[in-house]
Chains A and B, each alone.
Chain A
């Protein structure tokens, strides 16, 4: 019986030629916007229509402007005129900050009823939830829900049951929540419960007892429970492919509260109890379970908000600014002024290019911040002294004396500190600043950025009229992106998804990243080369000429750089493509031939005496090939063969991939060295130099390329 009532209600909604009931739209998903009146029309004297706002089961709502310029929402009632107007008239004199004000009820010449309401310019809760498919933050939910509850509580106090609470009927303007659509509101006294003759409300938010026609304000509490669930999770607790399925779940299923933050679970569970008597007895009780109270003016009072994020142990630049009351230093460029903390979007570089600017990435290095903060504090203290005060003059004199008397002595100390700071800053930038910041920025930006689109350029063969009125050549006609609500099942799925997103990244950004990686890798290789050279000198036999080591070491450094840059270049080009192992290996193998040829050229240029700097067991002579080697000195074919195989054997592109599994994999370094050992056994190549080239290349690649943490993103 209950199902029949629901079904008949659903059918009546669907059969409505407009099919536009806000409730049924939850199922039909499409709401035709065929408004009867257009912009500028005056269907009601004194009100000029600007545009349609929405279409409900009982009529159309328009934004209109009075002759005096007041914006109002006017609702034309075409169906159930008596029910709607009676409901509205009962609410006409209600006053609460969380209710949309009903201003007047009028009758037009065409016998349509018109309800004139306050116009709320903000978004509906439906729109907010559509924009946040995974739900709102707990603090936002508390703020919205408190006000929503306060408005509903006021209605209940006046003996009114809303009966159609849903996100589309809740509006938020400047942080103030307003409940709208009193079309279904009906006066219910305690002694006259139920006796309803038709089902009301929207399936997803309908209490199970609505079907039997006996209900009271508990149905609003039930709807509030559904709303609370949806605000926290982004989805309704009872969903289905058909109205019947949803209704059955309302009647028989328990909500899955595992996705709801723990401190909301009891409240939702009780609000969604199948037995109306087991629910909260009032909205005030429900709010109270969340530590929200309603004050004497009827407004919700929130508990003291706790910060959601723990404080960082290091003070941020903003904290320093607030603490010390300093203004942020401003960088002047040729056509713009930016502060160090400027956050720019990923497309910054592209736009800056047009403006003749270079993008600048600033970091909040803690030592620099602390020193700047100290100077700012001194400056602030100094600025507080009145300029005409004797103290000002005295302080100025003391500073001048100190600078003149001790400046010379202090300068070397400052210079030493600066010299120490420069390498520290380089290492800090490489290790901690650029990489995580970059990854985090990308992560955040991607959350904000649109998903990949299917782009369909405007065609020219769209009929004769197209030829006469061609559309501009660039038309972003695109598929509506659907954001996934579920985490990715595995790394490969995440990687595939992200790779598709990377295709949207501006090419200029890619090359900026590549340039940065080249600079980073060069620094890393240089440092390691110096370090390696010192070690080699220290451990080398005294009879070996150190100049030989210098030549071999220089060759190693140069080849490592060439290998690294080559892989970075190729890897960046492949970053946006799905992996094709065979093709990638073949390409690298081919490129390796060229790298080998360059290696031979460098070796000849440096005159590296390989025979004097090669390490091998004297009792087992290395296997050399006639046309590949001259003694222990490899010739051009050996160089080309070795580097081609080294490039083809190791999956170098994975080590420079922004979507690689780990930020740094020691296994990858060891595998590169092992591959080198294997290859040098096959085609003799001087050790340990070839091992160093492979190992350091792997290390530099992983340290210098950006990385997105899949674990964080898949949470």
Chain B
């Protein structure tokens, strides 16, 4: 897959970061064309396409895809908190936690794993917020700060806001570049993007 990075967050998890408008998910042997879930679902089970401000899930032919227990035969808009089930087997949770950003996160909730040693897939749109509260795209409970990750001119950049983002006394760090394979370490966090 192109435009793919992996975000490693110490003490939290690893996340595949995809910023293309359409990603395909499939079962064992589907990589690199699709994001592979180690399971017996079809190699191309469904795709998620970013249209406007929404994510549309589109099942492939012969794939049994359900959203919130509703069998899908055509494209459907995904909403925060939706549960995707494929072939009565793999279950994914779709989260779009911040109303201010279209970045979404997919995590597996059934007894399956991503083929890569990651904990979730981030469908990246402009920014991705890592932080201690539930509005962050990736919740890092023990952090004291929010870290906003974004892309500019095909390069990753980040900015840290201290005090957990409270209105009073908070301060933003300057925008800083983030090279791949470089570890960014703060007072209570450390991340690497590869």
B117–A71 CB distance below 8 A: yes
Known contacts A40-B194, A471-B150, A475-B148, A337 near B76 by CB under 8 Å: yes
- Chain B residues with Cβ below 8 Å from A35 are 10, 190
A465–B79 CB distance below 8 A: no
Interface residue ranges of B42-99 to A (CB < 8 Å): 51-54, 56, 68-77, 79-82, 97-99
- Chain B residues with Cβ below 8 Å from A451 are 134
Interface 9-mer from A85-93, A347-355, A541-549, A630-638? A347-355
- Chain A residues with Cβ below 8 Å from B148 are 471, 475, 477
The answer to whether A339 has its CB under 8 Å from any CB of chain B is: yes
- Chain A residues with Cβ below 8 Å from B170 are 456, 477
A454–B134 CB distance below 8 A: no
A480–B167 CB distance below 8 A: no
B76–A336 CB distance below 8 A: yes
Interface centre among A328, A472, A478 (most CB of B within 10 A): A478
Give the shortest distance, in Å, between B113 (CB) and chain A (any CB). 7
Give the complex CA separation of A458 and B192 in angstroms. Answer: 24
Interface 9-mer from A50-58, A294-302, A490-498? A50-58
Using an 8 Å CB-CB cutoff, how does the interface string of A500-530 with B read, 1 for contact, 0 for none?
Answer: 0000101000000000000000000000000
Known contacts A30-B142, A453-B133, A476 near B98 by CB under 8 Å: yes
- Chain B residues with Cβ below 8 Å from A351 are 53-54, 77, 79
Known contacts A71-B117, A354-B52, A480-B133, A33 near B11 by CB under 8 Å: yes
Give the shortest distance, in Å, between A463 (CB) and chain B (any CB). 5
The answer to whether A306 has its CB under 8 Å from any CB of chain B is: no
- Chain B residues with Cβ below 8 Å from A348 are 79
A354–B54 CB distance below 8 A: yes
B68–A454 CB distance below 8 A: no
A478–B187 CB distance below 8 A: no
Q: Out of A33, A463, A480, name the residue touching B189 (CB < 8 Å).
A: A33
Which single residue of chain A is at the shortest CB-CB distance from B155?
A469
Number of A-B contacts (CB under 8 A): 200
Known contacts A458-B172, A469-B152, A478 near B133 by CB under 8 Å: yes
A39–B192 CB distance below 8 A: yes
B133–A32 CB distance below 8 A: no
B11–A345 CB distance below 8 A: no
A357–B77 CB distance below 8 A: yes
A462–B146 CB distance below 8 A: no
Q: Out of A31, A127, A448, A477, name the residue touching B161 (CB < 8 Å).
A: A477
Q: Out of B73, B77, B135, name the residue touching A478 (CB < 8 Å).
A: B135
Which single residue of chain B is at the shortest CB-CB distance from A29?
B142
B77–A355 CB distance below 8 A: yes
- Chain B residues with Cβ below 8 Å from A275 are none
- Chain A residues with Cβ below 8 Å from B70 are 328, 330, 337-339, 341-342
Interface 9-mer from B16-24, B25-33, B124-132? B124-132
Using an 8 Å CB-CB cutoff, how does the interface string of A445-456 with B read, 1 for contact, 0 for none?
Answer: 000101101111
The answer to whether A16 has its CB under 8 Å from any CB of chain B is: no
The answer to whether A38 has its CB under 8 Å from any CB of chain B is: yes
Give the complex CA separation of A470 and B126 in angstroms. Answer: 12
Total interface residues on A, CB under 8 Å, equals 71
Give the complex CA separation of A698 and B81 in angstroms. Answer: 37
Using an 8 Å CB-CB cutoff, how does the interface string of B135-172 with A read, 1 for contact, 0 for none?
Answer: 11000011010101010100001010100111100101
Known contacts A472-B150, A476-B98, A355 near B188 by CB under 8 Å: no
- Chain A residues with Cβ below 8 Å from B192 are 38-40, 51
Known contacts A71-B117, A475-B100, A480-B165, A52 near B11 by CB under 8 Å: yes
The answer to whether A63 has its CB under 8 Å from any CB of chain B is: yes
Which single residue of chain B is at the shortest CB-CB distance from A53?
B11
Which single residue of chain B is at the shortest CB-CB distance from A70?
B117
The answer to whether A343 has its CB under 8 Å from any CB of chain B is: yes
- Chain B residues with Cβ below 8 Å from A458 are 172
Give the complex CA separation of A143 and B171 in angstroms. Answer: 45
Give the complex CA separation of A470 and B98 in angstroms. Answer: 20
Known contacts A33-B142, A351-B79, A459 near B54 by CB under 8 Å: no
Give the shortest distance, in Å, between A305 (CB) and chain B (any CB). 20
Known contacts A345-B81, A454-B167, A476-B129, A459 near B172 by CB under 8 Å: yes
B175–A343 CB distance below 8 A: no
Give the complex CA separation of A348 and B53 in angstroms. Answer: 13
Which single residue of chain B is at the shortest CB-CB distance from A130?
B141
The answer to whether B4 has its CB under 8 Å from any CB of chain A is: no
The answer to whether A367 has its CB under 8 Å from any CB of chain B is: no
Known contacts A469-B152, A480-B133, A32 near B188 by CB under 8 Å: yes
A454–B166 CB distance below 8 A: yes
B111–A174 CB distance below 8 A: yes
Give the shortest distance, in Å, between A709 (CB) and chain B (any CB). 23
- Chain A residues with Cβ below 8 Å from B52 are 354-355
Which single residue of chain A is at the shortest CB-CB distance from B71?
A330
Give the complex CA separation of A190 and B61 in angstroms. Answer: 65
B75–A335 CB distance below 8 A: yes
Give the shortest distance, in Å, between B47 (CB) and chain A (any CB). 15
Interface centre among A448, A480, A481 (most CB of B within 10 A): A480
- Chain B residues with Cβ below 8 Å from A33 are 10-11, 142, 188-190
Known contacts A50-B117, A336-B74, A474-B101, A479 near B167 by CB under 8 Å: yes
A465–B174 CB distance below 8 A: yes
The answer to whether A137 has its CB under 8 Å from any CB of chain B is: no
Give the shortest distance, in Å, between B153 (CB) and chain A (any CB). 9
A478–B165 CB distance below 8 A: yes
29 A-B pairs (CB sep. < 8 Å): A32-B187, A32-B188, A35-B10, A50-B117, A51-B8, A121-B119, A335-B56, A336-B77, A343-B68, A344-B79, A345-B80, A345-B81, A354-B52, A355-B51, A355-B56, A355-B77, A454-B165, A458-B172, A463-B174, A466-B172, A469-B152, A471-B148, A471-B159, A477-B161, A478-B131, A478-B136, A479-B166, A480-B131, A480-B164
**New A-B contacts (12) at CB < 8 Å, excluding given A51-B9, A471-B172:** A33-B190, A55-B11, A121-B119, A130-B141, A335-B75, A354-B53, A462-B172, A469-B152, A476-B101, A476-B129, A476-B136, A477-B172
Give residues in A with beta carbon < 8 Å to B: 25, 30-35, 38-40, 50-55, 63, 65, 71, 121, 127, 130, 174-175, 328, 330, 332, 335-339, 341-345, 347-348, 351-352, 354-355, 357, 448, 450-451, 453-456, 458-459, 462-463, 465-466, 469-472, 474-481, 504, 506
